[in-house]
Structure 1
Amino acid sequence: MAAKKILMLVGDYVEDYEVMVPFQALRMVGHTVHAVCPGKKAGEYVRTAIHDFEGDQTYSEKPGHNFTLNADFAAIKAEDYDALVVPGGRAPEYIRLNPAVIAMVQHFAQAGKPMAAICHGAQLLAAAGVIEGRACSAYPAVGPDVTRAGGRYVDIPVDAAHVDGVLVTAPAWPAHPAWLAQFLQVLGTKIEP
């Protein structure tokens, strides 16, 4: 397996599990993962939020950990990366307002590179205009964003993932096993027993 270089776009109040788990798992299998945030540098951190499903009409939110960034947003170039990961939480809602973030997402889509988004990460894909004509899962409250952006919202169980070509999406962190396994397949990652 040739190790891939993966870009992860995050911001304050990114969902804790959705940034920590893929960041660690993708590195564990040998990939390079650079987590960046607009306006921040390597060594700085973003705050995370823990979203739980406790029987309310929507998820609950609790303070999470501080997640340390390992690359400078201003110094990276999307062209240098093989794939993109967009965690959920509240971060996609506001980092999508940054034109440089939108341009990065558009680069991955236009180049046909693998992209993985989970939960509210689809808000960023929708804002970048990269899901038109594609099937995409997301947290159910983001379904209208997917539809308005010309995508087909795929309503699947919270622990499932969906693949449309090189786009791998899922509703929320309970889908990590399926979402990451399918993303690794799209990346061509082979894990030997």
Structure 2
Amino acid sequence: MSTKKILLLAGDFTEDYETMVPFQALSMLGYEVHAVCPDKTAGQTVKTAIHDFEGDQTYTEKPGHLFALTHDFAGVKVDDYVGLVIPGGRAPEYLRLNADVIALVQAFNAANKPIAAVCHGAQLLAAAGVLEGRECSAYPACGPDVRLAGGTYIDIAADQAYVQGNLVTAPAWPSHPRWLAAFVKLLGARIEL
């Protein structure tokens, strides 16, 4: 029996919970999760940042952990994967400047493979041009990015998720239970208790 593979796209200062929790949860379900970062290889790490909501005008940011990458970005082939996870944090802000990252997101979308993007992950969807005529949730500060990319920003509570076609999007890490459940459902997995 072959293990189904999921690609998780990370970068320095990716949001800690939005990277670690999907990686661990999807691995627990039996998926082989390849965590990659452009210009880094398996065994290297990215720094994470913890974003929290403490009553300020925006989220606070604290140092997170070192997250170990499990695969080389240079070896990624879309055909090897059943889905893509795009965590938020500050990483999407600069990863969207990488032409290979943009091409990768476009290829996953063109193949109609499930894509789970949370928080600032919508910045990569917008930069890749895959939101035209689509509906997408994101961290509220990314709403303008979604609209400028021709999409409709869906404003939902931080613990909710939104599905349209192959996209599963959510505002922030409090949505993990719904966001990951919706993504796994799109992947075709059945969980029976």
Q: TM-score range by the shorter chain?
A: over 0.9
Amino acid at match of 2:79: E
TM-score by length of 2: 0.98
Aligned residues: 193
The C-alpha deviation readout for 1:105-159, integer Å capped at 9, x for no partner, is: 0001111110000000000000000111111000000000000001100000000
Tell me the secondary structure at the aligned position of residue 116 of structure 1: strand
Deviation, structure 1 residue 2? 7.7
Tell me the secondary structure at the aligned position of residue 168 of structure 1: strand
The C-alpha deviation readout for 1:68-98, integer Å capped at 9, x for no partner, is: 0000111111222111100000000001111
Tell me the secondary structure at the aligned position of residue 120 of structure 1: helix
Tell me the secondary structure at the aligned position of residue 61 of structure 2: strand
Deviation, structure 1 residue 165? 1.1
CA RMSD of aligned residues (A): 1.2
Residue in structure 2 matched with residue 150 of structure 1 by the alignment: 150
Distance in 1, matches of 2:180 and 2:140, equals 20
Distance in 2, matches of 1:164 and 1:33, equals 23
Residue in structure 2 matched with residue 140 of structure 1 by the alignment: 140
2:90 aligned with 1:90: yes
2:187 aligned with 1:187: yes
Residue in structure 2 matched with residue 18 of structure 1 by the alignment: 18
1:131–1:150 contact (8 Å) kept in structure 2: yes
Q: What are the within-5 Å matches in structure 2 for residues 9-48 of structure 1?
A: 9-48=9-48
Distance in 1, matches of 2:40 and 2:60, equals 27
Distance in 2, matches of 1:129 and 1:164, equals 16
Tell me the secondary structure at the aligned position of residue 100 of structure 2: helix
Structure 1 residues 80 and 35, CA gap change in structure 2 (3 angstroms)? same
The C-alpha deviation readout for 1:12-55, integer Å capped at 9, x for no partner, is: 00000000000000010011110000000000000000000000
TM-score by length of 1: 0.98
Q: What residue ranges of structure 1 are gaps of 5+ in the alignment?
A: none
Tell me the secondary structure at the aligned position of residue 132 of structure 2: coil
Deviation, structure 1 residue 59? 0.1
Residue in structure 2 matched with residue 124 of structure 1 by the alignment: 124
Tell me the secondary structure at the aligned position of residue 109 of structure 2: helix
Runs (4+) off by over 4 Å = none
Residue in structure 1 matched with residue 99 of structure 2 by the alignment: 99
Q: What residue ranges of structure 2 are gaps of 5+ in the alignment?
A: none
